[in-house]
Structure 1
Amino acid sequence: MPDSFDVLIVGAGVAGSALAHGLATAPRKTPLRIAVLERSLDEPDRIVGELMQPGGVNALKQLGLEAVLENIDAAKVKGYCVCDTSAGKTVEIPYPGGHEGRSFHHGRLIMNLRAAARRAPGVHVIEGTVTDLIEDSSSARKVIGVRASLKGEEEKQSFFASLVVVADGCYSNFRTSVLGPAATKPTTKSHFVGAILEDAVLPIPNHGTVALIKGSGPVLMYQISEHDTRILIDIKQPVPADLKAHILANIAPQLPSSVQLPVKIALEKDRLRRMPNSYLPSTPQGSTSTKPGIILIGDSWNMRHPLTGGGMTVALNDVAILCPLLASVSDLSDWSTVKPVLNRWCRDRKPLASTVNILSVALYDLFGADAPELELGGECVNGPVSILSALVPSPALLTYHFFSVALYSIWVMFTHPHLVSRPDEKPRHAPARLEQYPFLLLKSVRVFYTACVVFGPLVWMEMFAHAGPSRRALLLGVVVPLVVWATFFSGLA
């Protein structure tokens, strides 16, 4: 086995395996020699990364990897179903245009992706744990390879490459050392607690189900094989001491009746597993603060809340954009030619990645809200389903829909009948009275303020936090006023 390659990829998950295949098959004058180092090549067992949006399926097709969804007992996903059992409401949200996603056991997909990478020309998949980065002593901080402990060998082995790509997931060991002072720490609001339900019947077949739970975060359910359905229960801090008892007493009774018995059975026979729901905005790569010769991709660089199932979609779209850009570079060891490619990649990925990231966190804040000001905006999922599915990547359109819903909720407060209860008569619905207007006006301000507090920081972090002064001036002077006015007039209409 050689110890020198053109590209060395750390991690053989979704992003790493897809990148190896994509680079090996991209049109190029000189074929690349690629090594993929993975700690364990056994089938992974995770409770997330099991639902792929239609946008992710499209990215697989673009990479020539659509076959990895075959022979893994994957289920079709035709949209979402939002359930609020306390209100007796079930809302179907189909994907537009007949598009479909897929859901599956995560490990089965990964094994197919690794097999596809192995079959690609010039790719070596190696089982070993990367422990250190190797830097060129003659060039300040430039990474030229890694040291790894290979399975079955006592001594570490060095591997060298023109370009090193880190795709080692959410618990990345190299994020801080690569990004330097620009690195940020992931923020975790809650955890998903997962189990598998056997032969459960969801309210709407082939739809991911989001159950809204009073006093807790949302519960997500989707079929991942013929007989298995994944359930992910959002648990906020502090985690209850007896988690199973908490779920049985407070969560299960609020779930659709068809899944309550499978949930109880699963809690009796299956171990509960936890996964942090983390958010990590992307940081520009190729800048003076980051190490040359190495880049990050996937969850090691950028994470969003898993509620919308957008993680794999963002990673695969990143790979689909990056592969032809890197294939156009004749000498990957020349960092001066790689840097412009990274800058273009970071720019070209923004529309889809930022849209999915913003929506995932904003929807979680809405679905998991205890504040009535946020709950009024829950209907926002009906408008931007094309955005949710990653078929229409547009932060501007997402902003429009989000604030349209906020203004619509204000209009509803003033124009729709309210439930009136008086001691001398039966409860009835009646229009808002004039003397109620001051209170409704104050509540309207709180609704719009809360929408801004939820949405504004996300847009800033995703689109403008690392932008130059001119782009920030464009946001404050042009984009914000246009969006506000357009949203306001659409609300009036």
Structure 2
Amino acid sequence: MSSQYDVLIVGAGIAGSALAHALSQSSAPQRRIALLERSLAEPDRIVGELLQPAGVAFLDKLGLQGALEGIDAIPVHGYAVVQDGRIVHIPYPDGREGRSFHHGLFVQGLREHAMRAKGVDVIEATVNALVEEEGRVVGVKATRSSGKEKEVILADLTVIADGCFSNFRNTVQGPSARPSNTRSHFCGAILKDARLPISQHGTVALVRGHGPVLLYQISEHDTRILVDVKGPIPSDLKKHILAEILPSLPNQLHEPIRAALATDRVRRMPNSFLPPASQTHKRGVILLGDAWNMRHPLTGGGMTVALSDVYILSQHLDKINDLLDWSQMKDVLDKWWWERKGLAATINIMSVALYDVFGADGECLTVFQDGCFKYFERGGESVRGPVSLLSGIVPSTSLLAYHFFYVAIYSIWVLFAHPRRIHTPRANSESHMNGTPDTTGNGGVHTDEKHSDMHIMQIPSILDYPRLFWLSCRVLWTACAIFGPLLWTEIRWW
């Protein structure tokens, strides 16, 4: 058995469903589109639940804003960053708004739009292999859920959008196109009726010695918590969260977290990074979405990049009369590569760079993290600029570089001019047993009851300057070592 289409899309997730709908709206002659998905049941994932303001804007451009309706989606107005009991407010600029939701409900909304689109056949089938003729992909072999026989589905253009665990990525781009693990997992659960520090804002909690914790409301009663676990996952993950993570989170979240851990399983998702690469290797097929390009999920930019890619690609495909003409397709792919670069590169670089800072693995990154928090506390452009980049509102790698290295230099200033935290064992500091947090900025003490030690806030003396100067050089080098390789992954062509 075989059937013929103009475009065949493997994977009915965010990118695949959006592209099927977008191509159906083409001003060119109506195309036949096949959208294949192994299971059309509602997906169940712990990431892909927050859509940044730029992503909402692209959803509107694609005519898919209806996918956010009727799924109890929550408006998101920005972030609250928490560190050592302090909170800094980071609102989206100009009243812009993102949305958060249950991932599966959003995907089902996109699929419904694709099913209603003209010329689109949504098929529940497992794709077993790509079909090639003379070095060109001409379709796929698939098994429908309703049968056992393999079926050949042919198309002028095949789009692989089967997600982060893509089965066909290596076939299309070779074995070098492998995602690298960022040495961390997000471990997630759902809190019931939790009260966040700032309502309708995502919360990022910086936990010293551990990765960041994300919280955001995804429905009227549900709040997602994602705990970043670096390195091997502890054998008793729930105990790890309660003992190591919970004390650093706002008090109003303690009870909902305990209740969730007592009744719900903690699910895990590896955090991967896959830089984009040229897509002119194999004729007749291209990659889209997480199958092609992934970034750390910390900044919640994946769906924004995917919807941007769909919008740009669909605009160019509208102008092609013959999808079999690969010389035209190569021109389209080249234009797509450069037009997507501003937004995609900014979000990709920022996601990994910000994770390195918020994860603070080592002395230099701890200095960077403290400086970053104090940078946000300045307000004004120190907040507006970074959040405009994170939300995709201002896609500019040059502006990202400016703020990133400004934070590095400001962190060095903080190192010399601000009180620094010194840990002193309780046994040697009996006179400070009842110390309280310093609020003057001129020094003070804080007793850590859990770890039986003292946190003394002390302004550096001249005797500290040689060591701090050397540390400052290391901080600047660390900033270059983070940003430089990430920038290179975006400007290289192969």
Q: Fold-level match, TM-score > 0.5?
A: yes
Match of 2:481 among 433, 437, 453: 453
Q: Are residues 1:304 and 2:303 paired?
A: no
Task: Kindly provide the amino acid, as one letter, of the partner of residue 481 in structure 2.
Answer: V
Give the C-alpha shift of residue 3 in structure 1. Answer: 1.1
Counterparts of residues 414-433 of structure 1 (less than 5 Å): 414-416=416-418, 429=443, 432-433=460-461
Aligned match of 2:15: 15
Distance 1:346 1:369, change over 3 A: same
Counterparts of residues 135-214 of structure 1 (less than 5 Å): 135-136=132-133, 139=134, 141-180=135-174, 182-214=176-208
Distance 1:391 1:456, change over 3 A: same
- Alignment partner of 2:219: what SS? coil
Distance 1:367 1:35, change over 3 A: same
Distance 1:3 1:455, change over 3 A: same
Counterparts of residues 228-377 of structure 1 (less than 5 Å): 228-286=222-280, 290-377=281-368
| Number of residues of Structure 1 aligned to a counterpart in Structure 2 | 456
CA distance in 2, matches of 1:417, 1:200: 34
Runs (4+) of structure 1 moved beyond 6 Å? 419-423
Distance 1:406 1:124, change over 3 A: same
Aligned match of 1:399: 401
Distance 1:83 1:146, change over 3 A: same
- Alignment partner of 2:174: what SS? helix
Q: Are residues 1:34 and 2:61 paired?
A: no
Give the C-alpha shift of residue 377 in structure 1. Answer: 2.6
Aligned match of 1:111: 108
1:350-399 C-alpha deviation (Å, 9 max, x unpaired): 11001001111111111111323213333266341100111000111100
Aligned match of 1:53: 52
Give the C-alpha shift of residue 433 in structure 1. Answer: 4.3
Give the C-alpha shift of residue 418 in structure 1. Answer: 5.6
Contact 1:180 1:291 in 2 (8 A): no
Compare 235-244 and 66-75 and name the one that shifted more. 235-244
Structure 2: stretches of 5+ with no match in the other structure: 377-382, 433-437, 444-457
Structure 1: stretches of 5+ with no match in the other structure: 468-493
Q: CA RMSD in A?
A: 2.0
Aligned match of 2:24: 24
CA distance in 2, matches of 1:100, 1:372: 36
Give the C-alpha shift of residue 452 in structure 1. Answer: 1.1
CA distance in 1, matches of 2:363, 2:409: 15
CA distance in 2, matches of 1:459, 1:384: 17
Match of 2:213 among 219, 223, 229: 219
CA distance in 1, matches of 2:488, 2:341: 13
Task: Kindly provide the amino acid, as one letter, of the partner of residue 94 in structure 1.
Answer: P
Compare 3-12 and 180-189 and name the one that shifted more. 180-189
- Alignment partner of 1:317: what SS? helix
Q: Percent identity?
A: 57
Contact 1:221 1:231 in 2 (8 A): yes
CA distance in 2, matches of 1:433, 1:197: 46
CA distance in 2, matches of 1:182, 1:193: 28
Q: What's the TM-score, normalizing by structure 2?
A: 0.89
1:101-150 C-alpha deviation (Å, 9 max, x unpaired): 000001110111000011111000000000110001xx3x1000000010
CA distance in 1, matches of 2:417, 2:209: 29
CA distance in 2, matches of 1:337, 1:13: 27
1:322-354 C-alpha deviation (Å, 9 max, x unpaired): 001011110001111111100110111011001
Aligned match of 1:488: none
Give the C-alpha shift of residue 42 in structure 1. Answer: 0.6
- Alignment partner of 1:384: what SS? helix
Task: Kindly provide the amino acid, as one letter, of the partner of residue 411 in structure 2.
Answer: S
1:281-306 C-alpha deviation (Å, 9 max, x unpaired): 011111xxx21100000000100011
Give the C-alpha shift of residue 214 in structure 1. Answer: 2.0
CA distance in 1, matches of 2:2, 2:26: 22
Task: Kindly provide the amino acid, as one letter, of the partner of residue 37 in structure 1.
Answer: L
CA distance in 1, matches of 2:411, 2:309: 36
